[in-house]
Amino acid sequence: MTRRGTARVEGFALLAALLLLGALALRRPELAILAAPFALVLAAGTTFTRTPRVGAALEPSASRALEGDDVDVELTLRSDTSVGRLEVFLETPEGVEVAEDDRMFALSLDAGEERAVPLAFRCARWGVFDVGNVALRATDLFRFVTWEQRLSEPRTLKAYPRLEPVRRVVSARETQVYAGNEVARHPGDGIEYADLRDFVPGDRVRSINWRASARRQGLVVNERHPERNTDVVILVDSFVDLVGGERSTLDDTVRAAATLASRYLERRDRVGLVGYGGILRWLRPGMGVGQRYRLVETLLETGVEPTFTWRDANLIPARILAPKALVVALTPLVDPRFVAMLEDLRARRFDVVVVELDPSHLLPARPGRKAELAHRLWLLERDVVRMRLEGAGIAVGRWSDETSLDEALEEVTTFRRYARRALV
Amino acid sequence: MRIGVAAVVLLVVVLALGAHRAVPIPFVAVAGIYGAQLAVDDAPLDVAAPAFAAGLVVAVELAYWSLDARDRVRGMPGDDLRRIAYVAALGVGALVVSAVLLALADAIRARGLSVDVVGALAAACALVAVVLFARGRGPTSL
């Protein structure tokens, strides 16, 4: 522990010294009498103090929590010596909140005592946090000397992003070979009725449509659409993070990615992830609960790493972008590299949709005519980018301050529905 | 009188600003006025000196308490009562020590060389205390 003298020790020493000097200068013993208590207390306070031996350990009740959840934490303090006043300072990282009363508190410990203090941390934001940092300050009886110690035992707390309410996700145009919840376009064994066709040897008797067969004077069988799964690749734009107030585009991006991943995995789809920014991160498409945890844990590492190098879709491994996969891009549409990559993917005939995390409400126009003009030009440029993407057949749904993620997905679905009709 | 009022104002300013290091200044000023007045009047040994000393110690303690209370550290239950007891004990202790010293000074007829001897001894004690503290200062590990 690091021993430090407090301002009191200097104050008492100064008072004693000046009063004694005054006594000598003025030749008055009364000033020496005034100085005596200060000198005695100072001598006692600095001499009869023992270095405390204190230890602390912080143990969260869970290593994983949801964003916004409270996590019970137990702080265990032990001391080999008696400590009259032990001040505890919890050094929580940004994103983890603790009640103001619990952040700094004082207690006393007897020699050999071990005490457990229950606390509650609140995960205000998603992320991976080290919550094991505690600063201790022990004070002697006279408050002349303090002993300070910083204890850092790594205790990782992972806060998973909060899921947004979404009723329906965007369906891929093409399905894959595994069973799932999506009705395939091609006929096969399934539940959904597709069409009628003439009976051919090998068809099952139960698939014969007897009424239609009676009308046509020949055996006719029902064709059905099989239920298949789809491949979905979630593309996260981590080039920029626009922050306004308590919201940021990257936070919303990660929440949207976690929400979409969870919803698609519930439908037995294979979901992969590509974090496209200063650092390229990817996760191969997979299914099941394990994949969900892998996806979320990968998302937790998402951060903005500044880079000036030009990147394109060639950097993404081919096995990540599976053929016929639906690519759901989550982006504020600010960095031209990401927009160019989306166009590149579309040119390679990938099924691309964009959920735009509209940052215009985070960056309002500054006062002044020129600033307002610049803001309007910026908004116009964004409209141009949107129109360019839609012209290339990429549906764009806007998730802004006024709309929800669900509405943005519905916008995408609607665009794709009309775009199909236009193609026919 | 004016210097006394100025010292009180200075103390209020020091407490309002939270300047821990400036706390002794107003008290030194008050004690200086007290000593100067005794010297100018060439008064005999002041029997009120122990009470003045106890009051000074209590006032200094209360000033530091006021500054400590600015910390937002949640204290233990009964902290205030313990501190009141500590300040009271300090005041009583200061009163007793000062009374003993006053009696001692009176006994040796607090004039001439005796004042210098008492002052020098007290200064030496203060110096030793500071040296002892300085020796114990510095990082130590568990």
Host domain of residue A362: 231-423
What's residue B136's pLDDT?
A: 57
A249 in the same domain as A390: yes
Q: Measured between CA atoms, how close is A62 to chain B, in angstroms?
A: 26
Q: Domain of A145: which CATH number? A: 2.60.40.10
Is the confidence at residue B6, as pLDDT, over 90?
no
**Closest to A48 (Cα-Cα) out of B129, B71, B67:** B129
Q: Are residues A65 and A125 in the same domain?
A: yes
B109-138 pLDDT, tens digit per residue, is 555 666 667 667 767 776 776 676 666 554
Is the entire prediction scored with pTM above 0.80? no
Mean pLDDT computed over A220-224: 92
CA distances from A398 to A77, A233, A345, A355, A394 (A): 51, 19, 20, 6, 13
Residue A72 and residue A41 share a domain: no
Distance CA A253, CA A108 (A): 46
Q: Minimal Cα–Cα distance from A137 to chain B, Å?
A: 11
How distant is the alpha carbon of residue A204 from its chain centre? 52
Q: Which residue has the higher pLDDT, B98 or A320?
A: B98
Could you report the per-residue pLDDT of A116-170, keeping only the tens digit for each?
989 899 998 898 998 888 899 988 888 888 898 888 888 889 999 999 999 999 9
Residue A330 near residue A234, CB atoms below 8 Å: yes
Please give the Cα distance from B119 to B57 (Å, whole number).
19
Q: Do B49 and A34 touch (CB under 8 A)?
A: yes
For chain B, say whether A53 makes contact (Cβ under 8 Å).
yes
How large is the average pLDDT for residues A171-194? 84
Q: Indicate if A323 and A388 belong to the same structural domain.
A: yes
Q: CB distance from A14 to chain B under 8 Å?
A: yes
Is there a single domain that holds both residue A41 and residue A122?
no
Looking at the fold, whether A399 and A256 belong to one and the same domain comes out as: yes
Q: What is the pLDDT of residue B138?
A: 47
Give the per-residue pLDDT at B112. Answer: 60
Instruction: Select from A54, A76, A80, A57 the least CA-distant residue to A136.
Output: A54
Q: Evaluate whether residue A6 is within a structural domain.
A: yes
User: A257: closest CA among A287, A288, A300, A289?
Assistant: A300
- Rounded Cα distance between A126 and A157, Å, is 10
Mutate to test the interface with A, among B83, B115, B127, B131 (most CBs of A within 10 A): B115
Predicted ipTM beyond 0.85: no
Nearest chain A Cα to B87, which residue? A142
A423 pLDDT exceeds 60?
no
Residue A281 inside a domain? The answer is yes
Q: Are A66 and A53 in contact (CB under 8 A)?
A: no
Give yes or no: residues A96 and A155 share one domain: yes
Is pLDDT above 50 for B139? no
Q: Does residue A169 belong to any structural domain of this protein? A: no
Q: What is the pLDDT of residue A48?
A: 78
User: Residue B89: its pLDDT value, please?
Assistant: 94
Query: Could you read off the pLDDT of A1-19 as tens digits, one per residue?
Result: 788 888 888 889 999 999 9
Domain shared by A317 and A398, yes or no: yes
Q: Is residue A180 in a domain?
A: no
Specify if A327 maps to a domain: yes
Q: What value does the mean pLDDT of chain A take? A: 88
CA distance A22 to A28: 8
* Closest CA in chain A for residue B53: A34
Whether residue A247 is found in the same domain as residue A372: yes
pLDDT digits (tens, 9 = 90+) for A267-323: 889 999 998 888 888 999 999 999 999 999 998 888 777 777 777 777 788 888 888
Number of domains comprising chain A: 4
Cβ–Cβ under 8 Å, residues A373 and A256: no
Which of A116, A144, A160 terminates a domain? The answer is A160
Separation between Cα atoms, residue A80 and residue A113, nearest integer Å: 7
Same domain, A213 and A324: no
Are A278 and A358 part of one and the same domain?
A: yes
Q: Is residue A176 part of a domain?
A: no
Residue B104 clears pLDDT 60, i.e. is over it: yes
Q: Within this chain, do residues A304 and A385 fall inside the same structural domain, yes or no?
A: yes
Q: Mark which of A31, A47, A63 sits at the end of a domain.
A: A47
Distance CA B78, CA A113 (A): 20
Whether A172 is in a domain gets the answer no
Looking at chain A, how many residues does it have?
424
Last residue of a domain, one of A208, A225, A242: A225
- Chain B residues touching residue A14 (CB < 8 angstroms): 24, 28
Maximum average pLDDT range among A92-96, A209-213, B11-15, B65-69: A209-213
Mean pLDDT of chain B: 81
On chain B, the residues whose CB falls within 8 A of the CB of A18 are: 24, 28, 31
Domain membership flag for residue A363? yes
pLDDT at B141: 39
- Which residues 19-48 of chain A have a CB within 8 Å of chain B? 19-24, 26-43, 46-47
